[in-house]
Amino acid sequence: MIRQLLTESVLLAFAGGGLGVLLAIWGIRFLGLLISLGPSHTNLHAELNWHVLAVAAGLSLLTGLLFGLVPALQSTDLNLAETLKETTTVQAHPRTFSWSVSTTQALVVGQIAISLLMLVAAGLFVRTLSNLQSLNLGFNRENLLLFEVNARQSGHQDADISEFYENLRQRLAAIPGVRSATLTRDSLIQGESSMPISLPGQRPRDDTRFAMIGPDFISTMQIQLVAGRGIEERDRPGSQSVAVINEEFARRNFPGRNPVGHHLMIWKEDEQKNLARDMEIVGVVRNAAYGGLRKEALPVVYFGYNQGYPLPNEMRFVLRTAGDPTAFVKAVREAVHQADPRLPVSEMQTQKAEIAESLQQEILLAELCSGFAVLALVIASVGLYGTISYTVARRTGEIGIRMALGARRGPVVWMVLRDVFVLAAVGLAISLPIAFGTSRFIGSFLYGMKPNDPRTVAAAVTILIGAALLAGCIPARRAAHIDPMTALRHE
């Protein structure tokens, strides 16, 4: 008897293991697709080899033996007289439940607890991703096309690099459908450049970021201008060096004053004792995301790339288009080729794609956690459905007698669903303290919320209770439609 039951259990376990391997094959391909959409330097090397298959086979065998041996031993250790009596009497509920049913209930409770933990984690990561995607960046991310060129690598020298970039900007701006064109050394999302900058008479500080930009950068990015003007075409080599600052720089250095018309100093990075140049502040703009979406507003100084220091090398052009930016890729490549056939175009993408690339970690965490949460919820629902269905089958005689004595379907449905609520409540009671205690370990991955976010926990609990009710509705409906005569004849 034990050998027969173990054989069935192991066969079921190996069948599940085989399906798991097929799911793993699909999952690796899906994960590889997600990774390929991220940064080019990210590489995923995962494959199913004989090591993995051996582990899968070993786990399947262990599962079959572990979860098949205890029920097999229990089924062969019966008191025949009591067992025969039980088949002809109405079984009380839940006092006469066998040990195997209690074990099943414990497993279902464990599945519910794990499902809630996964749902809470998935909810936190999904809401973090939503918060970052809906963040006000300080500029308009729509209809922007970005690409990089490096004139120095193509043979251009210091004397004509700035002029070449300006001519290329004007050529790109003349493309039909391009509303405006500008350039910058670093994109705002990826910018990390800093430079010793100070006000006259003060010591230089290294906490200020800078952005080398071209004419019309402020208007092309649609950064709101608070005072003054932006960098324009009149700001050429030989003219007065000018700069545009953001509100954070103004708040720290000009509290309660209008910064326009004041000056600031940019110091050489290698010799801070020698003044590089004096720059006049001609405008103030709203704070825009710089160096990543998670960072707080930093003091940023914008100045022209062609006013002498530092010398421009690789530059990123930004085009605002009238429609889909990807439709202008061919025209942009042709314009660059006409300007210099030797000049390669790289890193061409939309602004929205660059933002999505910077959120690749958050996207992966949200998608993977959501996938595991759905899988855990399905497993818990199936286990709960099986447990309740088995309970209803064992109580068929009792339910038949209740129906014969006049019990209505509503109380019978509630009697079954009560078991569902009890199992779900026990699972929640176990997992909620664990969720509140462990969520703080992922606090560094979150944005715009606390680890113990009540809305996320409430949503996870609601989803879990809904899935539990859905799993219990079918057995409850089946119990409510039991024919008393059929049940009594069966008993």
Same domain membership, residue 447 and residue 370: yes
Same domain membership, residue 63 and residue 204: no
Residue 140 belongs to some domain of the structure: no
Residue 83 belongs to some domain of the structure: no
Higher pLDDT, 419 or 275: 419
Same domain membership, residue 326 and residue 194: yes
Please tell me whether residue 238 adopts helix, strand or coil conformation: coil
CA distance 431 to 273: 61
Same domain membership, residue 472 and residue 361: yes
Higher pLDDT, 224 or 365: 224
Same domain membership, residue 392 and residue 282: no
Q: pLDDT tens digits, residue range 345-364?
A: 998 999 999 998 888 888 88
Residue 142 belongs to some domain of the structure: no
Domain finish residue from 342, 365, 398? 342
> ∠ CA 295-187-243 to the nearest 5 degrees?
90
Same domain membership, residue 338 and residue 213: yes
pLDDT of residue 491: 56
pLDDT of residue 104: 75
Q: How confident is the model at residue 74 (pLDDT cuts 50, 70, 90)?
A: low
Same domain membership, residue 475 and residue 356: yes
Residue 183 belongs to some domain of the structure: yes
pLDDT of residue 269: 58
Higher pLDDT, 21 or 181: 181
Question: Mean per-residue pLDDT for 22-31?
Answer: 78
On the question of a cis peptide bond just before residue 94, with omega within 30 degrees of 0, the verdict is yes
Residue 227 CA: distances (Å) to CA of 139, 217, 255, 264: 16, 16, 15, 17
Query: Average per-residue pLDDT in the chain?
Result: 83
pLDDT at 76 over 60: yes
Residue 216 CA: distances (Å) to CA of 151, 160, 179: 21, 21, 11
- Report which of 361, 331, 360 is spatially closest to residue 348, judged by C-alpha positions: 331
CA dihedral 158, 160, 161, 162 (to 10 degrees): 110
Same domain membership, residue 430 and residue 360: yes
Same domain membership, residue 131 and residue 268: no
Same domain membership, residue 329 and residue 184: yes
Higher pLDDT, 474 or 329: 329
Same domain membership, residue 115 and residue 63: no
Residue 295 CA: distances (Å) to CA of 1, 133, 137, 222: 65, 14, 11, 20
pLDDT of residue 141: 92
Residue 82 belongs to some domain of the structure: no
Per the structure, the complete domain to which residue 369 belongs is given by: 92-135+352-491
Domain finish residue from 292, 309, 342? 342
**Range from 27-31, 81-85, 272-276, 412-416 carrying the lowest mean pLDDT:** 272-276
**Range from 211-220, 394-403, 407-416, 421-430 carrying the lowest mean pLDDT:** 394-403
CB neighbours of 60 closer than 8 A, spacing ≥ 6? 10, 13, 14, 16, 17, 20
pLDDT of residue 312: 78
- Report which of 95, 55, 69 is spatially closest to residue 10, judged by C-alpha positions: 69
How many structural domains is the chain composed of? 3
Q: How confident is the model at residue 73 (pLDDT cuts 50, 70, 90)?
A: confident
Higher pLDDT, 71 or 289: 289
Residue 147 belongs to some domain of the structure: no
Residue 85 belongs to some domain of the structure: no
First-to-final CA distance of the chain:
25
pLDDT of residue 88: 44
pLDDT at 294 over 80: yes
Domain finish residue from 45, 77, 109? 77
Q: pLDDT tens digits, residue range 88-136?
A: 444 444 443 344 456 778 888 888 999 999 999 999 999 998 888 888 8
Residue 124: Cβ within 10 Å count: 27
The pTM (predicted TM-score) of the whole model is 0.74
Q: Which range is most confident: 44-53, 68-77, 97-106, 179-188?
A: 179-188
Residue 386 belongs to some domain of the structure: yes
CA distance 249 to 254: 8
Residue 457 CA: distances (Å) to CA of 34, 203, 270, 464, 469: 27, 50, 53, 11, 18
Same domain membership, residue 443 and residue 367: yes
Rounded percentage of the chain residues whose pLDDT exceeds 70: 87
